[in-house]
Amino acid sequence: MSRADILKIITIVVTFLLFIPLFQSLLFQNMADGKISINREIKVPFLPYSEKKLSLLFFGYYGCSDVCTPFLEKLSTIYESDVFKSYKKDVDIYFVNLNPAVKKHNPDEFAKYFNQNFQGIYLTHNEIMSIDREFGLYHTSSLRDKSKINHTDNLYLLEKSNGKF
């Protein structure tokens, strides 16, 4: 096998590893209706204490206009709808920021821009790294624009039982 052939194989493998995660939501959108159910305890030390039984978590970053803005706008519309009205007393909605370079108050301001009842959570770099596997998060700096973060657009529903999620 020539050196050129080896370089071609390496290029194909690296391309596959870099770009497949970017399209994972497209590849898996029809599996299980886009729902993944995990029946185990999830550690969420970053969530503030709440009496509410359910928490909706969305992971993104402060200032994201491509994914977060339209998603949070839709989530706010649903939250304010008559259909959701009876659930409000049982559900907290959190925007969890994936960019530790922002000011600590920015994620909460960003979340409240879409709905005053939404809460934004700031995480340090170490906190982000400790939870990304817990939630199966995909996030990486954009190759085109280093100020942007490519990330999944999953919404997580956590149910509290005996004080734990």
The predicted-structure confidence for 46-101, as pLDDT tens digits, reads as follows 888 888 888 899 998 898 888 889 999 999 999 999 888 888 898 999 999 988 88
Q: What is the domain partition of the chain in residue ranges?
A: 1-34, 36-159
The predicted-structure confidence for 125-153, as pLDDT tens digits, reads as follows 888 888 877 777 766 666 566 667 776 77
- Structure tokens, 124: 């340090």
From CA 83, how far away is CA 96, in angstroms rounded? 25
Cα-Cα-Cα-Cα dihedral sign, residues 72, 77, 83, 87:
positive
- Structure tokens, 62: 């402060």
Enumerate long-range contacts of 20-24, CB under 8 Å, 24 or more apart: 21/138, 21/140, 22/150, 24/138, 24/152
Give the pLDDT confidence score for residue 87 in this predicted structure.
86
Report the top-level CATH class of 36-159: alpha beta
Give the pLDDT confidence score for residue 122 in this predicted structure.
96
Residues 6+ positions from 155 with CB-CB distance below 8 Å? 56, 57, 58, 71, 75
Q: How many CA atoms lie within 13 A of 32 on its CB side?
A: 6
What average pLDDT does this structure show over 103-127? 95
Predicted TM-score of the model (pTM): 0.73
